[in-house]
Structure formats: structure tokens, C-alpha cells
Amino acid sequence: MKTLKIAIQKSGRLNEKSVELLKNCGLSFENYKSSLISPVSNFPLEILFLRDDDIPEYVQDGIADLGIVGENVICETEVEVAYLQRLGFGKCTLKLAIPNKGDIQALADLNGKAIATSYPVILGKFLKDNNVEAEIRTISGSVEISPGLGLADAICDIVSTGGTLKSNGLKPFGDVLSSEAVLIGRKGEEEDPLIQELIQRIQSVLRAKETKYVVLNAERKNVDEIKTLLPGIKSPTVVPLAEEGWVAIHTVIPEKDFWSRINQLKAAGAQGIVVMPIEKIIL
């Protein structure tokens, strides 16, 4: 039987979440912290642990069938790969940032300035699209210290919380690219049965993270009104209780919908509301 290969970060901000996702898909593997390759014992899959910059090219060239990597890396390396599934973690923004004290007020003020970045390809496209002519200075690390050292007038870097910018006397100036972790594959091989099975597992885990299993009690006369407030996967399950005229209503709903409707449910007669996490949802 064919064995798939999936490449994920060896270390970095996406490593732990990628490992967690694969384990939640029911995949069993060990020693991933001490090895570059880890076989999965209960699915035809090998996990490759690589530098994030290498993952897109490994997938493009067919060395790996799949990869988990940030969109920013894909855009910077300009590879040809298929986007198979957005994963909802590793969200960040590639931003322009400028010194708190300076004369830059608008994008046009960057003309003739020097901008330090680890993402020259993405930044170059952004500047071209906005008709800005600035010098791009490529720096592999610690981009945020460049203005303080006189190496650049502004920076373009990944920002998650903004704490690093603030500690270096910088402030966000503009968004260049929004990014999150994505599952990628080699173009033309998206319909491979094993790949589709793994995608199905991943999707079931992602759905479960966004939804809750809800059980509540209500008088039978209030069921119709309560059902209109519970947009489940299909329709709620209604089970009679031992007490005459009362039922238990079971459903699965998006967590964001539940919290916006809880007062409406209580007003409609819902009682004893229990909210539980879900491990997987398979459609």
C-alpha cells in the first residue's frame, strides 16, 4: 500500500498545533521531537519534520505529498501547490511598522525610504501594487531592531500580538498580508483516496472545535419555539422525559451561535442547559 508523506515544522509556532491536529485525527506516532521522520503506526503516513521555508518546495517537488505551513511562507517562496484546507491556527498578519517618532504618515511617504524585512517577495509585490518605490533590505532575523540601528526607516514583519513592536519603539502602520496555517498538496493529486481520507479526518476535528453538543430540558409546548433558536447540523433530537409534558432536546450548534442566543433560549422556556465539547464530527 502507498505511504503518504506529510511535512510539518520541526520547530516554531506551528509545530505544536500541527502535531496536536494530527494526533486528534487518531494518528499514532512517537519520537517526533528527536527524529526528522516519524512513521504513523495506524495509517499509511510518514511525518517529515522540516524548516518551514522548505515545506512548500518539498510538496511542489513531490518529496512530500502534503504539508502544513503558513500562507506567508507559500507566498514568499512562490511555489505551485494546491490549497487543501485552511486549519484555523497560526493566524498572524504581515505588517508594515514604523518608529513611534517619525515623519511617515501615509504609504506615499515610504517613497525613497528603506524597509527591512524577511519577506522581500511579498513586500515587493505590495509596494508595486501601491505604487511605492522604496529600498527593500532583506534581513534574516531580528527585523524589528533595524530602525533603531539606522538600517531602515520602516520594517515589514510578522505580527501576532504587537508586543515586540512596542518594546522596540515601533507601531503598526499597515497590513500587507493575513496568514494562517494551511494544508497543502501537490497539484493534480488532490483526489488521491488516501489524501481525501486524511482531509476528512482533519475536517471532522476542525468542525468539532467550532461546535458544542447542547442538551436542555423544556416543556413540550415550547419545543417548536426552541427549535427555531437551535440551528444544528440537521434538526434537534427531542426525547420524552419521565415527567409528563417535558422533553430533553439534543443538538449540535456552532459555539458562537449558542452564546448569542442563550438568553433567547431561556426566555423560550429552556432549562438545565448543558454544553459539552465534541471530539469529532463526520458528515
* Domains, in order of start, for the chain: 4-89+180-190 (3.40.190.10), 92-178 (3.40.190.10), 211-276 (3.30.70.120)
Determine the pLDDT at residue 257. Answer: 78
pLDDT > 90 fraction of the chain, expressed in percent and rounded: 68
Beta bridge partners of 158: 94
* pLDDT (average), residues 133-161: 90
Query: Is residue 81's pLDDT more than 70?
Result: yes
Query: Is residue 1's pLDDT more than 80?
Result: no
Name the band, by pLDDT with cuts 50, 70 and 90, for residue 201: very high
Contact partners, residue 234, CB within 8 Å, separation at least 6: none
Cα gap 190→199, rounded to integer Å: 10
Name the band, by pLDDT with cuts 50, 70 and 90, for residue 32: low
Q: What is the mean pLDDT of the chain?
A: 91
* pLDDT (average), residues 245-257: 88
Query: Is residue 90's pLDDT more than 80?
Result: yes
Determine the pLDDT at residue 210. Answer: 85
Cα gap 207→204, rounded to integer Å: 5
Beta bridge partners of 252: 213
Range in 26-35, 59-68, 138-147 with the lowest mean pLDDT: 26-35
Determine the pLDDT at residue 103. Answer: 85
Determine the pLDDT at residue 178. Answer: 94
Range in 27-31, 42-46, 75-79 with the lowest mean pLDDT: 27-31
Query: Is residue 116's pLDDT more than 90?
Result: yes
Query: Is residue 14's pLDDT more than 70?
Result: yes
* pLDDT (average), residues 99-124: 93
Dump strand ranges (E) for the chain: 4-9, 37-39, 45-50, 66-70, 82-86, 92-99, 114-117, 135-138, 154-159, 170-179, 181-185, 211-219, 237-240, 246-254, 271-276
Determine the pLDDT at residue 163. Answer: 79
Contact partners, residue 170, CB within 8 Å, separation at least 6: 97, 98, 99, 100, 144, 147, 155
Q: Which residue has the higher pLDDT, 234 or 76?
A: 76
Determine the pLDDT at residue 232. Answer: 60
Determine the pLDDT at residue 94. Answer: 94
pLDDT tens digits for 205-217? 998 888 888 999 9
Query: Is residue 255's pLDDT more than 90?
Result: no
